[in-house]
Amino acid sequence: MDLYQQALRPLLFSGLKADPETVHRQFMRACDWANCRCDSRRLAGGHRNLTAAAIQRWQKSCSICDPRLTQKLWGLEFMNPLGLAAGFDKDGVATNLWPSFGFGFAEVGTVTFHAQPGNPKPRLFRLPQDQAAINRMGFNNQGAAQMTATLAASQYHRPQNHHPIGINLGKSKITPLEQAAEDYLGSFRLLKEYGDYFVVNVSSPNTPGLRSLQAVEQLEPILTALQTENQGDKPLLVKISPDLAWEDLDAIATLAQTHELAGIIATNTTIQRQGLQTQRLSTGNPPDQEAGGLSGRPVRQRSTEIIRHLWQQTQGQLPIIGVGGIFTGTDAWEKLVAGASLLQVYTGWTYEGPWIVRKILAELLRKLDQHALPSLSAAVGAAHRGQNTD
């Protein structure tokens, strides 16, 4: 299981001297190809048996199945609490493949109503000394209509063992801020049939003015439009920034409850740069001179603090998906006992490799045994109930 960290990661990160986005793009092409083979009905004879067997062996090496890890939220069953965060599979091309990496669910996107190329390159940087990344991708994606076609084809061949798929919605760059509600609504209408839950992303730092939509007076029209169209059919969440002030977090939590949102995702990337060890990026500039959102280890503590605060403000009545700096089972446990019902990884997955899911789940099971808890649900918010969670 250390093969990735000892051999493959050094090759990908430095040996090939490839742009991180190029590596990611090639990986997603491979995933797109493999995604089609997840349905054995597309293959014939021995190819079907060989492909199915290979996928099963890979999934067994990456995952753990234990009823204590299951979570039930919004009428959906999650085989385990660890999902792939939005931003990795931007166009939803590998939805059938992510369970094979052990994930309990996956969130695709961010998708915008209009297809868009994103920001100029380079726009993705690794900070290995900090176990972090900076991205300013700018919601590059093929658009909601193309994702609808992709998911329609993929779900026709969806594995019988269903894993929830979330769809993360963003605002198109060409759409004026005052027309944001219509833009989000257009994407939602196209994709409603294909997502198990939906996320309103108003917290990326890489689309001009987007974070201003977190202000209650701008966020409310978006939520009103979506919930009017939704009519309670699909769970709708909002994804927030780690850079919000406490009073702004409270306002969003109140708004989420008023509009009967299914939950909050805490958190997106940060624009802060304090305490980084990395002195220079591939551009030759220090991190504080490169725009973009910082993810990975440096976000861990702040995202956990926000989870803890939101749980307290909502008395645990608003489910939280915790994301930001999860690399180990201890990181995951901290977010669960702080109040997160589900978790997501992205940067940690790229640093630790495909077996991170299995390692985290195994550690969570050890934590349950250590604290004599019958299930993961019993651990959610445990730190607020005076339980020993160390």
Taking only the tens place, the pLDDT of each residue in 214-254 is: 988 999 999 999 999 999 999 999 999 999 999 999 999 99
Is pLDDT of 80 > 70? yes
pLDDT of 235: 98
139 close to 174: Cβ distance less than 8 angstroms: no
pLDDT of residue 3: 53
Stronger pLDDT, 189 or 203, i.e. the higher one = 189
pLDDT range class, residue 159, cuts 50, 70, 90: low
For residue 121, pLDDT beyond 70: yes
Backbone angles phi, psi at 104, to 5 degrees: -80, -20
User: What was the pLDDT predicted at 34?
Assistant: 76
Question: Over the stretch 352-361, which tens digit does the pLDDT of each residue have?
Answer: 988 999 999 9
Q: What are the pLDDT digits (tens) for 249-258? A: 999 999 999 9
- Rounded to an integer, the average pLDDT of 147-163 is 76
Q: Is 204 a catalytic residue?
A: yes
**pTM, 2 dp:** 0.92
Q: Which residues contact 298 (CB under 8 A, 6 or more apart)?
A: 130, 132, 270, 272, 275, 276, 325
Write down the pLDDT at residue 4.
47
- 60 marked among binding-site residues: no
Which one is catalytic: 204, 241, 295, 303?
204
Would the annotation count 347 as a binding residue? yes
Share of the chain above pLDDT 90, in %: 75
Is residue 384 over pLDDT 50? Answer: yes
Query: pLDDT at position 63, please?
Result: 85
Burial label, 203 (beta-carbon count in 10 A; 0-12, 13-18, 19+) = buried
Tokens of 9: 């990661």
Q: What local confidence, expressed as pLDDT, does residue 60 receive?
A: 80
Helical H segments across the chain, by residue range: 3, 9-10, 20-37, 45-62, 144-156, 180-191, 216-230, 246-258, 300-314, 329-338, 347-352, 356-370
Span 24-61, pLDDT tens digits: 898 888 888 877 665 544 444 445 555 666 777 777 88
Q: What's the pLDDT tens digit per position in 333-349? A: 999 999 999 999 999 99
Q: Give mean pLDDT, residues 146-160.
A: 79
* Residue 373 vs residue 28, higher pLDDT: 373
88 is in an annotated binding site: yes
The reply, when asked if residue 137 is annotated as ligand binding, is: yes
- Residue 161 marked as a ligand binder: no
Strand, coil or helix: 140: coil
Greatest alpha-carbon span in the chain? 61
Please state the domain extents for the chain: 3-277+284-384
What pLDDT was estimated at residue 155? 74
Q: For residue 15, what pLDDT is reported?
A: 47
Q: Of the given ranges (89-98, 180-189, 330-339), which has the lowest mean pLDDT?
A: 89-98
**In sequence order, what are the beta bridge partners of 238?**
200, 264
Q: Give the mean pLDDT of 286-310.
A: 97
Flag whether 89 is marked binding: yes
280 marked as binding residue: no
Distance CA 151, CA 144 (A): 10
CB 360 within 8 A of CB 336: no
The pLDDT, as a whole number, for residue 5 is 56
Q: What share of the chain is helix, strand, coil (3-state, %, to 5)?
A: 45, 15, 40
Q: Alpha-carbon distance 202 to 205, whole Å? A: 9
What is the average pLDDT across 288-308? 97
Residue 96, annotated ligand binder?
A: no
CA distance 272 to 265: 19
136 is known to lie in a ligand binding site: yes
Q: Is 139 annotated as a binding residue?
A: yes
User: Can you give the C-alpha Rg of the chain in angstroms?
Assistant: 20
Whether residue 304 has pLDDT greater than 70: yes
Superfamily per CATH, domain 3-277+284-384: Aldolase class I (3.20.20.70)
Mean pLDDT over 356-382 rounds to 96
Beta bridge partners of 125: 134
Instruction: State the pLDDT at residue 43.
Output: 45
| 201 annotated among ligand-binding-site residues | yes
Average pLDDT for the chain: 90
Annotated binding-site residue? 119? no
